[in-house]
Every structure is written in structure tokens, then in C-alpha cells.
Structure 1
Amino acid sequence: MNVTHENNDALIATLTVKVDEADYTPKVEQSLKNARKQAVIKGFRPGHAPASLINKMYRKSAIVDEVNKLVSGGISNYIFEEKINILGEPLPSEKQESIDWDAQKDFEFLFDIALAPEFETKLSKRDKAPYYIIKVDDKMRDSYIESISGRHGSYQPAEKADDDSLLNATLTELNADESPKEDGHTVEDGLVSIALVADEAEKAKFIGAKVGDVMVLDVIKAFPNETDRAALLSTDKENLANFEPLFQATVTEVKHYVKAEVNQELFDKIYGEAVVTSLEEFHSKVDEDIKANLKGDSERKFYIDVRDKLFVSLVKLLLRLFLVAKHLNHLL
């Protein structure tokens, strides 16, 4: 297959697509084989009609389909590879000769394409677009520091549990009557994140819990997600079906997440040892980080403003061209 184009004028070009018999024959033969496998023709077993009959019935339509696919793909690839900037879609040319699908072996197709006009519009020195540098205020800084403190916090021992606590507990499998199951499953140091407990009634059992407290936990209600439940029971998901839903939980440790204090330890952890040595320097560094993070917003805003100015300049240019053309037509 060969695709070429010729410019008729600055805005119109003609694409010529030549398809030879060798280009489409392999695809046509495969299409006919598939048609034979699926064909249900009276007098023959399904899929066993004579190839000659299938060829007679379907060859023309198969050629049309495969040639059209080649032409469509060839045009798209050619326009992309040649970097031709067109308006709309290629249209069959009025110069196209009729196709005899019964007799022709090789085909030639002509398509007209509209070329996108090239023009240039510029901003002059009088055109200005502001570049905004976002000012960091106290609220923005405090929010950023709060986020930093949260990311660098840690779990610390606590007297009693709340909604966000972590509990270490010994878990012992129970029977349905809450008696210990003989040879049941035991987890010595199970880790329970109260925030992940799905059932509110089960979660309430842990709120306010202290070391030494004992409660009965329905692990299926508390952790319906099998991955979470398997992690709690220190087993594989494949083994979960072997366990009873009820477990006795004996709390051995209560931990609460505490945000990092804003002090020298935090400064060193974020920026390196002794790089920042005061709260004022820390605030200055935070402000720099915020500005760097928001630089993309400033650049996007600048791009939009410049684009809008170019659009206005383009409209003015097109208006001038329209008025000039109208004046020339009037003179003619």
C-alpha cells in the first residue's frame, strides 16, 4: 500500500491511497476461513461448507471490508507520520473514479483534506501578564506545620483507649457459648487498630479500655475484610474458615498516636542536623516549601493569562483580515 499527498492550494490537498492485491489478500483469506468455521448453510454440517461456496458468497464483501480497513489505517498513519495538520476528516474526492469490486485487483482512492492555515500572532511589549507569587499567611503556615507534625508523630503508651488508639491484646478462640475452645487458636500479641474496626458495637468495646481489660470480640463483625482479619489473627486468609468468630481479647498495651512536637528534634529530622536552629528559621523554611509546592499554581495561572491575551490578539487579527477582505470585495 502506498499513500501520497499533493497540495492543490494553501488550504486543500488530495491524498492518494493505492492498495495492491498483495496488501489485502492474506487478510481476506483469513476472513474467509473464519466465515467458513461459523457458516451455517442448509445441506452442510456447521463449519463444513465447501470453501468454493464460501468464497463465492463472501469474498467480495471480505475484500471490501479489508481494503477499507487498510485505507482507513493508512490515511491515519500517514497524516500522523507526515505531521499534516488538518481540519475535520478526509472526504472522498470528486475526482474519485468508480470502483469495480468484482473485476479490479488493485485499487486507487482519492481523498480531499482541508489543511489548517498557518498564522502567527505575537504579544508586543505593551502586552503584559502578571506572574503571581502566592503569599504565605499564618493560617497556611500553621496548617502545613500541623501536617508535618502529624506525619512525624508516633504511638506512645496511654492510660486508656480512644477512637484512634492501637491496642496490643492476647486473643483466645472461644466457642459459641464464650467458653475457651479446646486446642483453639491463640494470638499472643494481636494488634488492634480501633479506627479500623468496622462494626460500631464491636468498636465500642475497645473505647476506654485499659491494660488488663478483657472483652469478647466477634472478629467477623469487627473485621469483615479478610486481609485485615487474617493479619489480626496472624494467619493466612485460607485458614479463616477454620476459626470460630468469637475471641477473648485481653488488653496488654494501649497506645495513642501523638503528633511530633515542634522542636529541634523535628527540625533535624526534616532538614538535617543543625540546618535549622530556631523557630524563626523553621517558619522561613516552611514558607519556602509552601511556595515551591504552589509554584505550579502560579505557572498555570500565568499560562492561562498569556493564552487569553494571545486569543484576544488572534481575534483582532482575524477581524482585521475580515475587514480587509470585505473592503477588497467591495472594490472589485
Structure 2
Amino acid sequence: MITDLSELGEFGFIRSIADRGVIRPEGVILSVGDDAAVFRAHPPGGSAPHSVTLLTTDMLCEGVHFLRNRIPPLDLGYKCLAVNLSDMAAMGAHPREAFVSLALPPDLPVDYLEALYQGMDELARRFEVNILGGDTTSSLRDLIINIALTGTAGESEILRRDKARIGDRIFLTGICGESRAGLELLLSGANDNAYPSLRAAHVRPRPQIAEGQFLAASGVRCALDVSDGLSSDLRHIARASGVGIRIDGAALPASPELTQYCRETEKDLTSFQLAGGEDYCLCGAVSPGLAEKTKRRFADRFGYPLAFIGEVTAEPGIVLRLTKDDFIPLPSTGWDHFSSNSHG
């Protein structure tokens, strides 16, 4: 029996409690294990029988998720709401109401709090999200921010992690690795004018709400947002769907800025793409029959390409194709809050 939390890991802990919380299963569609819980707020035959409610929550802790002296409060407030909105994007949902809870250290100035809420308000207005309340308490030292966000979606159009099928194409709606590079720049104290797009990717991620809704309406059924690192999040899809995944390393998209940063710092570009974290683009699986049509319509709608980076296989595990005939197993190298490998 595992007794050490670092050995069990964050996702092992989540799996261990997944079946305990549903005491009243009527109306519950998804509980623990996806980007948001999904349930029917109305009984079957009620006023909205085909609409379901989603609920997600994210906690950001000073010293774990952010450093107060490295991110302005305006950007921190923006990011706190953005990561919740990204969960709704991952489900193809429409975000609705937010609730903000704060644990405040005694040295936090009032103007810091005002800027924090200004950042939240900026993003809330953009996506027509109400901030309806929450809770506050004191903290001995660190700032802790927790946001709960509701959303709605058509029951038949929810994007889920467990819907990948053998033969599906794996897609990405953005570039993985830029946020990690942005974090390195912030921590290094490098020139603030260097690589502004990489810095922005870390402190002001763009929730892909429209992209998620588009994919759901296009018949895609499997997706998540890339928050823990692409290799880890691919494993979430594979485990939930009972499949394997083969990734083509040459197909992973990279921006000129990320490529230049890795070249100048002598970092491995592929490592950034696979094990970055906090990218908040969408990754998922689409059936072969829908793939090219979805790719074409996506580019027409958003003005940038939907990248196909691999395929779903029957063989378990995640495999990376380096060359035509060279494959290697891909370890899970993303973020795990309880693993000792994630800190330091």
C-alpha cells in the first residue's frame, strides 16, 4: 500500500477518490477526472432537457503557481480566471458564473487587490461571465486564489477525455512550450523587452472558448486543454479512452520566437513542446472522416491552422516518432503537484 503522497502522485490521488463523491448519481454525467464536472441542473423533461451544467474550479497558490514579485497583480487576476475559462473551452462549453475565494496575507496592499480584480474583470467582460461572490479569509503568509466557474453546453456536444477511438487523428489548436519559455524568462530576470510573446503566453494565456465551441459543434467529441504538459495530457486521454497514442515529433508546431529562444539558450525544442505546461491550447482526437473538413473549416474560421500531430492506436502507451522508422516511448514529464519531480 502506498503511503507517501509524492509516490502516489497527483493523478493517482485523483483516481483514488474518483468513485467516492457521487452519492446521488441521478443527473450526474461526468464527475472527477475531466476538465469539468457535468450534470443536469434540470430534471429530464424539464425546461431545458438537452442542456447540461458544468462546474470547474482551480486553485492558485503563491510559491507553487506564481511568485508575487514576478507577475503584476493585473496579470495574475487575468490568469486566475483564464485557467478556469480554459477548462470550459476544453469541454466546448459556454462559461457563465464565477465565484472567487481568497486567502489574504497580512502584508497585501489594498491597491494590489484592486488590480487583481481589475484583471479578472477584464476577462470576465470579454466572455460575459458574472462574478457573483465567493469567500475571503486570512492567510499567515501566502496569497491563495480559488475560482469556481459554471458553464452550459448541449449534452450531446460535450468534449470529453474518454472519447478517443482507434484511428482518430490527434490535433493541437496552438503551440506548446511558449509558456514554459516565458516562465524561464520571468524567473531569470532577463530584459523585459526580450521575447514579449513568450512572456505573454505565460502570464496572459488566451482561453480558447470559441475554438472549443467550434470543435464541439463540428462533431469532435474528445478534447482537453494542455495545462500539465502535452505528454502528460496525452496520457490523460489515452488512459480515459483505453487507447494508445503515437505522436509525430516533426509535426509539433513551433513559433519562430520559441524556436529562436531554444536556439539561443541551447535548450531542446522538443522538450519544451512536450513537457511545457500551462499552454492552455486544446488537444484532442477527431475521426478520420471529419479530420480534413474540420481542419479546413477551422483555418477559415480562426485564421490559423489546426495541427495534426499523431494518431490513436490500439497499442497502449504514448510513443514519439523521431524519424520514419524510429520510435521511442514517451514518458509522462509534465506537471504533477504531488510529485517531488515537479518541484525545484
Which bracket does the TM-score occupy, shorter chain normalised?
under 0.3
Instruction: Name the structure with the higher helix share.
Output: 1
**TM-score, scaled to structure 1:** 0.19
Q: Whose relative contact order is higher, 1 or 2, with alpha carbons under 8 Å and at least 6 apart?
A: 2
- Pick the structure with greater CA Rg: 1
**TM-score, scaled to structure 2:** 0.18
